[in-house]
Structure 1
Amino acid sequence: MNRIKGWKYTLILGIFTLLFSMGFIQGINKNAEGLLSTFGFDKISVEAKENPIKSRTYGFTKKEVWHLKRKLKENLTLFVFPFEENIKNSSNTMFAKILAVSASYPSFADVHMVQGSFLTEKQEENQDRVLVIEEEAALRIFKSTDILGMDVELMDKSFTVIGVNKRKRTFLSNLLKRKEPDVYIPLQTAFVLDENIEIPYLQISILEDEKGIQSEKAVGKILEDMGKGPSNYKIVDYRGFQKRAYPINAITTLIFAMLMIYYLIRSQIKTIKEIFSTLADGCKSHYFLEAVQSNKRTLGFLMIHFLFLICCTYIVLKRVRFDFYLSAIKDQYDLYDISIFINNLFEVVAAKTLFQCISYFSEFLITFISISGVTLGGLLLYLSFYFLQHTRQQIDKVLFFFSVSYLAALLFASIVMKVIQLPAMIDIKSTILIYSFLFFITYRKLCAFNKKL
């Protein structure tokens, strides 16, 4: 009885862990892509490194910002300058995280406006003293969100509130809440407040029609033409994150497909041996035709079984790609390992803005779940087969429980994904293939055990 319970518990936990892990990997990738807004992963990031001698960054001055905008006119560009400062009105003061940004910011990061509008190009060009404030920050300062047109003081200057935004309640943004700004102001207005500032962050969109900048090398060349050493800047192609994130489920599917084909071929070989064994026994007899006639039902069943296995193999081969799933990045192949895991964690801690660390944090989570979750799910399923080999159960009852528990685990995994605010991105092809593999193995294990009895 304990072995039956052990089989049931480990089977359900193994299926749920595996399905949830695969759904989490896809969901977190979609969640990150949504937070990265219009261009998703199709952009290149440039971050100025710190100069340890002069204790400042290799950022871009006001003149260099205009030069880069003209140089990169084919691509949409975003410049960001984060800083912290007190903002106040007549009754309240708050120490806030402020982001001076280009008007193109909503195309590069998700901004959910609940009142008013975001900063415009005209306001940036006119260096208007306007700002967009986050809903929670507005409640702390004004005790209300109905504040459009009201003034607030920032760096001894009066700014007018033109919009109120609300943090989007997604899985990633909730985890990275402290990285989100409280206030947005126009980039050119920040230069008015302090002409000596240098912009440390630049993002460049990558267009589908292959116009303008398309690679890190091209960005480095532009920096060189400006007299700036590319080695002083951290240039990251966001598409690399996507290339590493998407193949994980494909690799898991490939593993199950290979195992499925292995067992199908083994069964085919076994069936062929049984057919030849039956025919060989008939050849030994003086009455070969009579012997074959008496075994025609057995031979017919074996032939049908063999054709069925061939069809199954063909379907698996057609549904699964067997090319190399790991995409080339920087002329080499990257696979998740402990160094990527640690590097992503470090980048998340060091990041000063939300959009800067979303990709690193999403890859950190995907790395963790791919190493731990998929492995744990596989081990639990393997353990369930161990218990199954030592249970005395009717085949039909076991297969019925297996099918119902698989569907229940799939439904439960989808509900969990919904609760933690991730899109339920279950890959149907992978789900069906994994089910078919486990069903096939369960059936074989039971048949083998019943023959021993």
Structure 2
Amino acid sequence: MKPAHLKPAKSAYPAYLVLALGLLVLTWSTLLGSSLPAKLADLGGLHKTDKITATWLGNFHQPEAASFTLKDMRQLSQYNLRDYDLAYAVEASTSAAYQKNQNPAQVLGVNDRYDQFQQINLKAGGFLTVEQENQQVAVIDEDLAQALFQNRNVVGLEIELYGRKFRIVGVAGADHSLIGTLTDRGYGTVYIPAKILLELEADSRITFLAVETKDAGTTGRNTAVLTTALTSIGQDPANYKIIDYNLAGLLMEQGNLLRNFLAGAVAMVMLFALLRGKIRGLDHFCRQRLRDNYWREMIKEDAVRLMLDMAVILALVAVMLLVWKLIRFSLYIPPENIPDELIDISFWVDLIQRGIQTRMQSAGDAAPPGEVQLNVLNTIRNWNLFLNIFLGWPLFWLGLYQTRLLGEKLLKVEVFCSVFLLAALSLGTALLWIIKMTPVIGTGEALLVFSSVFLTALTKIGQMIRGHTC
């Protein structure tokens, strides 16, 4: 049997691989999380997230009095919402044709303000105007143009819908980003005047309303304005799914704040460990010196050492305060989700029932494009936060623990973390460009991740080194 000291050393590559995976998840989570609220704003057109929407919760194919009429829209725009931009839409599906070519299409009957509330990237021509509300005109997306005409320069040509000719006045760019791909229904989109579609589709009705908001806060004023307007035209707000996109953006941003808080909390714990070690070291030094000297003699002889130690302690405290200022935030919870008493079983039962009923009511209907995109962004946000907490940090700590067991040098681990964090940052930025999401790199967020990684490595590997030297 070979002596123990002749056994081959374990390879450190698996440990560094796990460490690298953890750093990659943490970096990617930070980049993606910061870009999601910006993407939500981009998808909102001119008004970005300064809008509130109401979507009918009934079935599109069942005539109901709870949907809007053109008369309702005129009344809202002339009276209750006369000071607000307003858009509405009615959805249907049919086949679009040009000569012998046919292709299924989603038809959206909209008013002239619709493009101010949705991202419609016009490649040619213009969007529908108020003067064209009685005309058979259409805006089609470039995928449908390519399918029917094998060409995207089709402004001025005609397509056939419901057996009628519609003149093409604009071509909208297709969304090939990650969000566009995930929300793609597999067929093209045609925008025509809402009045024309209501005439052609006997069972169609206006089921979507978007209104400009003027309050970016969390007071509920936007919802109050819209519910009052709905009541004024004889509609029950309970029949509509109302989304304030200001609050939707705020709630999405809270995912980033929670992620930053976790990174900052890790940094705070490591800073506290360093502070405690420094205070203990200073206390031990003073006790040793005071065995043979008085305070006055110790201060006189070791003034430089004492001042340097105190400066380090004050610096650590200052950094802790700075980190706390950077990560602290007020958690926002929608008022309708807060009971008067925490121990109120009926409130929580009703809250769950309302959530289930809302999902069931809208389960058979196709949500409007903006709502579908919001749902996808929220799903990505939730998974991103989950992976950050339950995959990124555990992998990083596991890799660091393995490198510590293998006796890796602190400098080597720190250099590896530095190089790989920069590489992951570059790779993550490139991936965001590939999936057509504008990278938003928050300096504070990146510094939190970097500092928590370095401080953890410094504390854990440093403790091992100090333990071996004692």
> What range describes the TM-score normalised by the shorter chain of this pair?
0.7 to 0.9
Change (3 A) 1:344 1:111: farther
Matching residue of 2:165 = 158
Counterpart-to-counterpart distance in 1, 2:238 and 2:247: 19
| Aligned match for 1:312, one of 319, 326, 329 | 319
1:17 maps to amino acid: V
Deviation by residue 1:222-243 (Cα, 9 ceiling, x = unmatched): 2222222222222222223212
2:397 maps to amino acid: Y
Matching residue of 2:285 = 278
1:41 maps to amino acid: T
Tell me if structure 1 keeps the 8 A contact 2:61–2:203: no
Change (3 A) 1:269 1:148: closer
TM-score by structure 1 length? 0.87
Q: CA deviation at 1:18?
A: 0.8
Change (3 A) 1:273 1:70: same
Tell me if structure 2 keeps the 8 A contact 1:348–1:361: no
1:418 maps to amino acid: W
Change (3 A) 1:274 1:17: same
TM-score by structure 2 length? 0.84
Q: CA deviation at 1:2?
A: 4.0
2:370 maps to amino acid: F
Matching residue of 2:335 = 330
- CA root-mean-square deviation: 3.2
Alignment of 1:89-100 (within 5 A): 89-100=98-109
| Aligned match for 1:267, one of 274, 283, 296 | 274
Q: CA deviation at 1:288?
A: 6.8
1:329 maps to amino acid: P
Q: Which moved more, 1:350-359 or 1:285-294?
A: 285-294
Matching residue of 1:115 = 124
Secondary structure, aligned partner of 1:426: coil
Counterpart-to-counterpart distance in 2, 1:207 and 1:397: 54
Change (3 A) 1:441 1:156: closer
Matching residue of 2:398 = 383
- Equivalent pairs, count: 443
Counterpart-to-counterpart distance in 2, 1:202 and 1:287: 81
Deviation by residue 1:121-170 (Cα, 9 ceiling, x = unmatched): 1111xx01111122222232233333332233222322212222221322
Counterpart-to-counterpart distance in 2, 1:152 and 1:422: 33
| Aligned match for 1:398, one of 401, 413, 416 | 413
Deviation by residue 1:255-279 (Cα, 9 ceiling, x = unmatched): 2323323332343333233323322
Tell me if structure 2 keeps the 8 A contact 1:179–1:353: no
Change (3 A) 1:198 1:315: closer
Q: Which moved more, 1:364-373 or 1:297-306?
A: 297-306
Indicate the percent of aligned positions where both proteins have the same amino acid: 21
Matching residue of 2:239 = 232
Counterpart-to-counterpart distance in 1, 2:59 and 2:411: 71
Change (3 A) 1:275 1:373: closer
| Aligned match for 2:90, one of 75, 81, 85 | 81
Unaligned runs of 5+ in 1: none
Deviation by residue 1:7-46 (Cα, 9 ceiling, x = unmatched): 3212211111011012112223222221221112221111
Change (3 A) 1:433 1:128: same
Q: CA deviation at 1:76?
A: 0.9
Secondary structure, aligned partner of 1:422: coil
Alignment of 1:17-416 (within 5 A): 17-50=25-58, 56=64, 58-71=66-79, 72-124=81-133, 127-178=134-185, 181-194=188-201, 197-207=204-214, 214-285=221-292, 298-318=305-325, 320-324=326-330, 326-332=331-337, 350-416=365-431
Tell me if structure 2 keeps the 8 A contact 1:77–1:204: yes
Counterpart-to-counterpart distance in 2, 1:108 and 1:382: 44
Counterpart-to-counterpart distance in 2, 1:287 and 1:62: 92
